[in-house]
């Protein structure tokens, strides 16, 4: 894809397009019409692309499966008995099925990369704030970012250029790359398929000449980002969702512009989302808890910055998700003999970087014939988005050169 002229694309149902319902996958917004199109969309249409449809999602973007009780389950095109991932599952599935060359989604804690990994496509989350965030339902202004799904990294880069105007994409030889491998935390809980795929991928990258550097992401307090991200991340989302989501309802045409958060909450259809929102409403995050979460976020940001600086690495790599796409209806996984609820297990590796605002991308890795997709997460320093895309392009080419698309 060299140009966007005439290229159709879909947008996640929480991104505004005038004349098209912005449902956020929830009943109260089923017929909600925005009064203005999101800037991230208009930049693409100005480049010649054409909005074709709204893509399904996990209700209110508060989940990782896109099993939506109001609008239906989004199935994985690779295996329809499995989930497409979430919350941007519809956008990923439309690319995986070949319907569109690219789509837009959003990401709070992994909602671009998780569906990309499950569906075997490329999913890119830019540095938080790099893409405009007007014209979309924000559950967390601190964390949310629009992102791009495509079949390959080059197509993501074309879309990224149309949105940002940045054109430089450096050609990097594998032998010039230094990539951090944070085994502590990021490689701890993997199913057999993902572990095998990661072992083979790292071996293949080493053979291609990539320098792999062992590293740890540890905050100044000595705690790993995995220890700190879950509670801090939920506190940020819980505090901001209740306070800011209503601001975006005001951008809708009447009568939906008068909706409150409670109005929408009362009509939630998906049991898992209702449980999350009920928790937000009955056990609200206090101002002190929110400020404490932001302080933890700052510590996590320092951990990333120090890792990139001291190890002199271009990016870190890790399994995007520790397991392949689960079957529809599954709500827990067992990894390394430990039973885990599906949601925290799904976002385990994507959440810390999302909270810190790092640019990141998931690319599919070679799998045996008939094997389910596995994603390789590539995460860079804040603001180094085009470098992340360049690294991803190099790794994509290196892995594609493996004979028969198998390692």
Per-residue pLDDT band at 248 (split at 50, 70, 90): very high
Question: Would you place residue 184 in the very low, low, confident or very high pLDDT band (cuts 50, 70, 90)?
Answer: confident
**pLDDT band, residue 1 (cuts 50/70/90):** confident
> What is the dihedral sign for C-alpha 253, 256, 259, 261?
negative
- SS3 state at 10: strand
Q: Does position 51 have pLDDT exceeding 80, yes or no? A: yes
Cα distances (angstroms) measured from residue 267 to each of 23, 70, 112, 189, 279: 13, 10, 26, 36, 15
pLDDT value at position 407? 47
pLDDT bin (cut points 50, 70, 90) of residue 193 is very high
pLDDT band at 370 (very low <50, low <70, confident <90, very high): confident
Instruction: Sketch out the chain's domains with CATH numbers.
Output: 8-405 (3.90.1300.10)
- For 187-239, the DSSP string reads TSS--HHHHHHHHHHHHHHHHHTPEEEE---B-TTS-BHHHHHHHHHHHHHHH
Active-site annotation holds for 111: yes
Catalytic residue (choose from 66, 67, 91, 111): 111
**Residue 29 reports pLDDT greater than 90:** yes
- For the question of residue 311 being annotated catalytic, the response is no
Query: Has 140 been annotated as catalytic?
Result: no
Determine the angle formed by the axes of helices 385-400 and 192-208, rounding to 10 degrees. Answer: 90
- Which candidate, 371, 246, 375, places its Cα nearest to that of 320? 375
54, 66, 67, 87: which is the annotated catalytic residue? Answer: 87
Q: What is the pLDDT of residue 406?
A: 53
Report whether pLDDT(404) > 70: no
pLDDT at 5 over 70: yes
Q: Over the chain, what is the mean pLDDT?
A: 96
What are 99-153's pLDDT values in tens digits? 999 999 999 999 999 999 999 999 999 999 999 999 999 999 999 999 999 999 9
Asked whether the predicted pLDDT for residue 168 surpasses 80, the reply is no
Q: What are the pLDDT digits (tens) for 255-296?
A: 999 999 999 999 999 999 999 999 999 999 999 999 999 999
Q: Could you report the per-residue pLDDT of 292-316, keeping only the tens digit for each?
A: 999 999 999 999 999 999 999 999 9
Given this model, what pLDDT does residue 401 score? Answer: 79
Cβ neighbours of 339 (radius 10 Å): 9
Q: What is the pTM of this model?
A: 0.96
Alpha-carbon dihedral sign for residues 224, 117, 104, 169: positive
- Kindly report, residue by residue over 67-99, the tens digit of the pLDDT: 999 999 999 999 999 999 999 999 999 999 999
For tokens 């967390």, the residue is 140
């Amino acid at each position: 894809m060299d140009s966007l002229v005439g290229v159709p694309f879909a947008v996640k149902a929480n991104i505004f397009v005038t004349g098209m319902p912005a449902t956020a996958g929830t009943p109260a917004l089923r017929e909600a019409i925005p009064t203005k199109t999101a800037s991230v969309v208009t930049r693409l249409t100005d480049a010649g692309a054409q909005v074709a449809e709204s893509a399904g999602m996990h209700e209110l973007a508060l989940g990782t499966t896109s099993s939506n009780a109001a609008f239906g389950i989004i199935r994985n095109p690779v295996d329809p008995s499995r989930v497409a991932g979430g919350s941007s599952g519809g956008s990923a599935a439309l690319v995986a099925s070949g319907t569109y060359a690219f789509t837009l989604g959003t990401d709070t804690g992994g909602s671009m990369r998780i569906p990309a990994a499950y569906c075997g496509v490329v999913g890119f989350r830019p540095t938080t704030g790099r893409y405009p965030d007007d014209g979309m339902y924000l559950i967390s202004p601190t964390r949310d970012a629009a992102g791009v799904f495509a079949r390959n990294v080059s197509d993501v880069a074309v879309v990224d250029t149309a949105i940002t105007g940045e054109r430089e994409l450096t050609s990097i030889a594998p032998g010039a790359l230094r990539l951090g491998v944070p085994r502590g935390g990021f490689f701890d809980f993997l199913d057999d398929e993902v572990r095998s795929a990661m072992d083979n991928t790292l071996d293949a990258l080493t053979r291609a000449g990539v320098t792999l550097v062992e590293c740890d992401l540890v905050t100044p307090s000595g705690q790993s980002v995995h220890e700190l991200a879950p509670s801090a991340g939920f506190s940020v989302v819980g505090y901001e969702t209740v306070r800011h989501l209503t601001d975006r309802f005001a951008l809708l045409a009447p009568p939906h512009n008068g909706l409150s958060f409670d109005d929408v909450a009362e009509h939630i259809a998906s049991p898992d989302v209702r449980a999350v929102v009920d928790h937000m409403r009955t056990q609200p995050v206090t101002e002190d808890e929110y400020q404490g979460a932001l302080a933890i976020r700052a510590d996590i940001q320092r951990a990333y910055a120090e890792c990139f600086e001291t190890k002199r690495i271009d990016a870190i790599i890790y399994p995007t998700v520790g397991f392949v796409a689960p079957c529809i209806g599954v709500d827990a996984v067992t990894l390394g003999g430990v039973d885990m609820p599906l949601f925290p297990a799904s976002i385990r590796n994507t959440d810390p970087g999302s909270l810190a605002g790092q640019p990141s991308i998931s690319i599919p890795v070679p799998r045996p014939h008939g094997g389910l997709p596995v994603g390789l997460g590539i995460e860079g320093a804040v603001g180094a988005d085009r470098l992340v895309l360049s690294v991803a392009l190099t790794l994509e080419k290196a892995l594609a050169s493996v004979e028969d698309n198998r390692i």
